[in-house]
Every structure is written in structure tokens, then in C-alpha cells.
Amino acid sequence: MTVELISVGTEILLGNIVNTNASFLAEKCAALGMSNYYQVSVGDNEERLSEVLKTALSRSEVVILTGGLGPTEDDLTKEVTAKVLNRRLVEDEKTKSRLNEYFKGRDKKDITENNWKQTLVIEDCLVVDNNNGTAPGLIAKTEDGKSVILLPGPPGEMVPMFEESIVPYLKGLSGNVLYSEMVKICGIGESKVETMIKDMIDSQTNPTIAPYAKNGEVHLRVTALAATEEEGKCITAPVVTELKKRFGVHIYTTEEKVTIEEAVVKLLAEYGLTLSTAESCSGGLLSGRLVNVSGASAVFEEGFITYSNTAKMKYLNVSEDTLKEFGAVSKETAEEMARGAAKASQSLAALSVTGIAGPEGGTDKKPVGLVYIGCFLDGKTETREYHFKGNRQKVREYTVISALDFLRTTILSTFEKEA
């Protein structure tokens, strides 16, 4: 089944906002086994939007439009779609009731007349309730059975509406079930991952493997087309087993919504470990990722942001001689930072980060992107040297992911040896 995405809004064309909706929808539609060949952004212009929608309907079975459903004059998506489909706009009593409830208790002077424009829907369409805003979503069928889906533009409204209401609808368009599993890999680059599974991709039919490159990670989605979900599980199981065999410890989860920081927090809790962090170039990004996880307070003791040499000596007991001889960005300093953090917080594990995030500060011997990460566990400290590419933010992000994966694999190797 083919799907086409149309993002509506002049602000997208001007670069005033980043179009995250298209990225989200493309990934979700791919997970549903849908083929997406075209994505279009168009401004708030009736003629151009009409032309784009007609073109999309001529070549795709499902067209999803985001944006342009609000109360203002330049919100034209619903009106243009109705004209293209040769339908009227009619008032929807349920939407009107929901809107009245939304405005209940507010001063009537603050409720402008144009808000009621949102109660108008395309004739004979399916109205999708918006539980996070005022503009409902709409699903209209063309005379030849194609689906036109209209969703609000704000991601805070669009994302939950899509996941709660549109996903079940799209699944129902096919007589079969699409079952997928996600294999998340860290510590191996995209090109190497692809090389390691090239034979599997070349010979695939059902299920299929779709790789997605993330910052410092590679995700492999295994999707099967089956009559039932149970059959889908049976079809994907051998492929997932083979991926586990090939990538081993580099796989940190096979659960869709689990992040690497969640996997690490779970692992710390499983082995009764507590953690502290000592950060220089990452400036709190590492501890921030950890405390994003619900339940992190059970394992995360303390975070030190020691950007200056003085702070490294004061809070982590890094030797002044070490800093003078080897420098702040060094294997030796990372090691002392990790040990110092563990000792200062009395934690059983510690991670340290020191490096040159750029764009200034690099030298021939210590270029931008050079990062040392230290990991203290079970009374031992190991350090690793990394060389990351990209801007300052990218270097910091790759550093954090690598540190989390370093700790994860160290925990596994340490306790596997003891078992």
C-alpha cells in the first residue's frame, strides 16, 4: 500500500519550524509496511495545495496531510480537501460539544468567532477526536476507495492522534496483520551493520529488515505480513534470533520504546549497582539522559560537572601532576575522574567524560572530537579513547551514547564472568 505525506504551512517553507511531523509519519508508516515514495511541503495557498493533493491522489492509495486545520483564515487544508473531493463542509455536533466543553469557564470575550470554524467537517467523513487540542482529525474516502487523512499540525496533537486512532485505521485497510520487532544496536556503525546483514537483506521476502541510523545507534525493524499477530511472531522469530547471534552484546534491547539510558538503568537495578558521573565536555548531558528515566533515583547517586581543572581537583581528587603531565583531555585524567566520582559519592559504578567538543580547542595531537571515557566498576577502572566527527552538539551526543554503552557492556562482561 502506498502512502504520500503532505505537510501544510508556509512556516515550514520559510524554515521557521522544523518539520518533525514528516519524519515521524514516515517512520511509523514504514513500520506498518506502507511504501512512501513522495513527501511534499506546501504553503498556505489554496491553488498550490489543491494541485499537490490532486497529484498525490493520482499516484498514492493513502494521503496524509498535516497542518492547516486551525481557526484562522490561512488554515485551508479542510476547505481545499473538500473542494478536491467535491464534498460540502457540514457542522459536526460532537465536535461543537467538545469545543463548548473546552471553552467552558472562559471569558466569552476571549473566544473569537473563528474558533467555531473547527466544528465544520468534510461531508461523509470519519471525525477523529483531538484529545490534546481543538481541531479534530478527519478521514475521508474518495470515490475510488482511496483514503485522505487530515491531522493537526502541532506534534503534541498529531502524534497521539496518529498513534491512538490512525494506526488502527491503517491496519484495518489491509486484510492482513503487520507484525514488527525492533532490534536496537549500539557500538557498531551503520555501514558495518549493513555489511553484516547484507546476505539477509538480499534474500529477504517476508519478513523484511529495515535499518534506521540514529545518533550513535542503528535500529533494525523486522516486519512480517501475516494472517494473525501470532503468525507474525513466528515468522519474525528466526530472523531476530539470527540478528542476536550476529550482533550479540551490541544489541541493547528488542523493545520498541526502550532507550539506551532505560536499558542501562534497568541493568544497574538488576545487579544492585549505584552510579555516579563525572563530566567535562558533556557538561551534564550524560546525567540528564539518566535522570530522564523514571526510577533512575534508585540507582543514580550523584553527578559532577567538572569543566575546569580546578573543579576536577577539588571534587574528584584528580592529581595536579596528572593534569600538568597529560592534560585534562587524557586517558589518565578520565581514569582519575571515574575513580574520584565513585569515591566521592560512595557509588559502586562511575562514568567519566573528558574531551574536545569543538569547534575550537583542537591541536594536531589532540584534535576536535577526541574524547576519553572512564568506567569504574567492581573496584577496577577502564578507559577508552574515541574520535567523533560532527559539530559540537554531535560530539557531545555521541559521547553520551558511547559512555552509556561502555557502562552497559562492562556490567554484562563483569557479571557474566562471575556467573
Q: Which helix (H) or strand (E) holds 265?
A: helix 260-270
Percent of the chain with pLDDT over 90: 84
Closest by CA to 196, choosing from 207, 183, 177, 181, is: 183
Q: Do the Cβ atoms of 96 and 116 come closer than 8 Å?
A: yes
DSSP conformation letters of 109-177: GGS-GGGGGGGEEETTPEEE--TTSSSPEEEEE-TTS-EEEEE-SSHHHHHHHIIIIIHHHHHHHSSSE
Strands 300-305 and 62-66: unpaired
Burial class (CB in 10 A: 0-12, 13-18, 19+), 116: middle
For the chain, domains (ranges, CATH) are: 2-173 (3.40.980.10), 177-253 (3.30.70.2860), 260-418 (3.90.950.20)
Q: Which of the four pLDDT bands, split at 50, 70 and 90, describes residue 9?
A: very high
Q: What tens digit of pLDDT does each residue of 60-99 get? A: 999 999 999 989 888 999 999 999 999 999 999 998 888 8
The pLDDT assigned to 105 comes to 67
Q: What tens digit of pLDDT does each residue of 400-415 get? A: 999 999 999 999 999 9
Q: Do the Cβ atoms of 368 and 359 come closer than 8 Å?
A: yes
**pLDDT reading at 220 higher than 60:** yes
Half-sphere exposure of 74 (CA within 13 A, CB side): 9
Q: Which of the four pLDDT bands, split at 50, 70 and 90, describes residue 295?
A: very high
Q: Which of the four pLDDT bands, split at 50, 70 and 90, describes residue 248?
A: very high
Over residues 142-148, the mean pLDDT reads 96
**Hey, what amino acid is at 18?**
V
Burial class (CB in 10 A: 0-12, 13-18, 19+), 328: buried
Q: What tens digit of pLDDT does each residue of 327-364 get? A: 999 999 999 999 999 999 999 999 999 999 999 999 99
Q: Do the Cβ atoms of 67 and 152 come closer than 8 Å?
A: yes
Q: Do the Cβ atoms of 320 and 332 come closer than 8 Å?
A: no
Closest by CA to 287, choosing from 275, 277, 274, is: 277
Q: Do the Cβ atoms of 198 and 211 come closer than 8 Å?
A: no
**Hey, what amino acid is at 24?**
F
User: Could you count the other beta carbons within 10 Å of the beta carbon of residue 139?
Assistant: 20
Alpha-carbon distance of 302 to 347, in angstroms, equals 8
